[in-house]
Amino acid sequence: KKSCCLKGLSFFLLYRRHGLWFRLRRLIIWLLGVYIAIPFLVKLCPAIQAKLVFLNFVRVPYFIDLKRPQDQGLNHTCNYYLQPEEDVTIGVWHTVPAALWKNARGKDQLWFEDALGSSHPVILYLHGNAGTRGGDHRVELYKVLSSLGYHVVTFDYRGWGDSVGSPSERGMTYDALHVFDWIKARSGDNPVYIWGHSLGTGVATNLVRRLCERETPPEALILESPFTNIREEARSHPFSVIYRYFPGFDWFFLDPITTSGIKFANDENVKYISCSLLILHAEDDPVVPFHLGKKLYNIAATSRSFRDYKVQFVPFHTDLGYRHKYIYRSPELPRILREFLGIPEQEHHH
């Protein structure tokens, strides 16, 4: 009876081991199948790659009311809606300098528009992919810039946040151009600076190249965590790690991005830009590798278009932990901006 029980037990353990192995093998084959299928799916449907570049459907934080910037602690901010072209409406936030905070309370849109003509410089901020103009790190930067005496105008590109339309590189650039012209029509002789972050650096160089070509350049361009072009960025992105050595990686993953009309060629654009350029990049950036920002700086610094302009690269050491989106935390930032933009100290404290 005992040997019968032992036989039964060993048979059960053997069955269990084989059953587990069988299930594990099935899982491995299934995962391998999915791994191999994804590149073909991306190749057949380039819209997938476009969605991954823009991530405009990712609304984080989700429950915020973009009509109420005051809910994010932006008490001296007005929400506007502009219409760059038919069937496209974009949501815009305009934060006045902290010095105007008391006057701004309870004022309407017309007061805010007039305020752009006050003697304070204006920063047009172009955000990166995913989220909205109400993203936490973005709001924190607006607060820092406002406290330094800048107007901050920011918006959601078509297809982001509460802005209506379908995202595309051309559309994003056109929206930025529309907002720039809207600012210039109201800002008088005040300097206007363009600040792009991450994917927004691609929009920023597209915009500034166009502005330089029509001979209305901004006073300066600031690129935070920029890349060289979207292909090099996609190749270096953490998402692509598991496929980087997949045969035909470029053909499967990078060509569909280009097919979708997405280039964001910062490295090409800087050759046609003539205005002061400041690049900020953290060495521990896990999304846009530091070496791409450095490479872009080297291209710009040797470009004839910047011959008469200041080109500066400011790295932030890994120990600071600013990664991809926390450079606003740097206590050095006010000094860096003041020295680069050449705004006198007292100008900030009107």
**The pLDDT value given to residue 343:** 65
The pLDDT tens digits of the residues spanning 172-213 come to 999 999 999 999 999 999 999 999 999 999 999 999 999 999
pLDDT mean over 31-53: 88
The pLDDT tens digits of the residues spanning 140-161 come to 999 999 999 999 999 999 999 9
Report whether pLDDT(60) > 80.
no
Q: How confident is the model at residue 13 (pLDDT cuts 50, 70, 90)?
A: low
The pLDDT tens digits of the residues spanning 280-296 come to 999 999 999 999 999 99
**The pLDDT value given to residue 6:** 63
What is the spatial distance between Cα 53 and Cα 108, in angstroms, rounded to a whole number?
A: 36
pTM: 0.90
- Stretch among 19-23, 40-44, 198-202 having the lowest mean pLDDT: 19-23
Q: How confident is the model at residue 348 (pLDDT cuts 50, 70, 90)?
A: very low
**The pLDDT value given to residue 5:** 65
- Residues marked as catalytic: 198, 285, 324
Report whether pLDDT(349) > 50.
no
Q: How confident is the model at residue 225 (pLDDT cuts 50, 70, 90)?
A: very high
What is the spatial distance between Cα 286 and Cα 301, in angstroms, rounded to a whole number?
A: 25
CA angle 171-172-176, nearest 5°?
115
Answer for the pair 198, 279: CB distance below 8 angstroms, yes or no.
Answer: no
Q: How many residues does the chain have?
A: 350
What φ, ψ does residue 154 adopt, rounded to 5°?
-140, 160
What is the spatial distance between Cα 144 and Cα 332, in angstroms, rounded to a whole number?
A: 12
Supply the mean pLDDT for the chain.
Answer: 90
- Amino acid 239 reads F
Exposure string over 23-56, b if 16+ CB within 10 A, otherwise e: eeeeeeeeeeeeeeebbeebbeebeebbebbbbb
Answer for the pair 163, 91: CB distance below 8 angstroms, yes or no.
Answer: yes
**The pLDDT value given to residue 347:** 44
Q: Where are the alpha helices (DSSP H) in 156-304?
A: 169-184, 199-213, 230-236, 249, 255-259, 266-269, 290-301
Exposure string over 225-236, b if 16+ CB within 10 A, otherwise e: bbbbbbbbbbbb
